[in-house]
Amino acid sequence: MATEDAPQIYLVTPPDFELGSFPATLSGVLDTVEIACLRLSLATRDEDRLMRAADAVREVAHRHDVALVIDTHVVLAQRLGLDGVHLLDGQRSVRSARKELGPDAIVGSWCGQSRHSGMEAGEFGADYVAFGPVSGALGDGELAERDLFQWWSEMIEVPVVAEGGLTEELIRDLAPVTDFFAIGEEIWNSDDPLATLQAFRAAMG
């Protein structure tokens, strides 16, 4: 049973998926586990593919009353009626995205391991800041350590997201100092995504 102040799940789509089957899989997950927000995070830059994927996922998300944001594409977020955008360049685009999307949209910022970038993103209007990866050979090998999340949760009011290389053990360790866990390939690459997500949920407390 989740405690009242336990972190929430921020679900990230796989980098590629079948439009014919993934919406049903996603719907099954959202039926079973409470999700705070969903992010469309595709590897493709093909606009038509992105738009069709967004249409399919948005229908499922909104049916379950879950907000849907998209990586990077402020224009597509506007055009497709999505709830916001997840920016991948730290604080740099936060101000312009906020101006374009307005005060009610979700604007999130991935800031790697940079406390400074995170603070600036918050000052510029980000609704949350994501740090990571927390483990694994992702990116340049640098990791977001527990100390960063602890400092942030004590000093900064902007919600913080832990992302990248999550495990049950890491989730248990970071749960007291994190508002959200961005969970994506950790579950989609497993044999049973729903069971894996439920195990992660249990580890959050």
SS (H, E, C) the chain: CCCCCCCEEEEECCCCCCCCCHHHHHHHHHHHCCCCEEEECCCCCCHHHHHHHHHHHHHHHHHCCCEEEEECCHHHHHHCCCCEEEECCCCCCHHHHHHHHCCCCEEEEECCCCHHHHHHHHHCCCCEEEECCCCCCCCCCCCCCHHHHHHHHHHCCCCEEEECCCCHHHHHHHHHHCCEEEECHHHHCCCCHHHHHHHHHHHCC
Q: Name residues of the chain where pLDDT drops below 50.
A: 1-3
* pLDDT given at position 137: 59
For residue 39 the two structure tokens come to 């992010």
The pLDDT tens digits for 87-98 are 999 999 999 999
CATH classification of 8-203, choosing from 3.40.50.1860, 3.40.50.300, 2.40.10.480, 3.20.20.70? 3.20.20.70
Query: What does each C-alpha distance from 133 to 43, 50, 172, 196 come to in angstroms?
Result: 18, 25, 16, 19
* pLDDT given at position 138: 54
* pLDDT given at position 2: 41
* pLDDT given at position 169: 97
Q: What is the 3-state secondary structure (H, E, C) of 42-94?
A: CCCCCHHHHHHHHHHHHHHHHHCCCEEEEECCHHHHHHCCCCEEEECCCCCCH
* pLDDT given at position 140: 65
Strand 128-131 and strand 106-110: the pairing is parallel
CA distance 9 to 3: 13
Of the candidates 100, 158, 106, 103, the one whose C-alpha atom is nearest the C-alpha of residue 131 is: 158
Torsion angle of alpha carbons 193, 198, 203, 205, nearest 10°?
A: 150
Q: Please report, for the chain, the start and end positions of each structural domain, with discontinuous segments joined by +.
A: 8-203
Of the candidates 30, 31, 28, 34, the one whose C-alpha atom is nearest the C-alpha of residue 204 is: 34
For residue 69 the two structure tokens come to 């944001």
Q: What global pTM score does this model have?
A: 0.95
CA distance 131 to 113: 6
* pLDDT given at position 139: 58
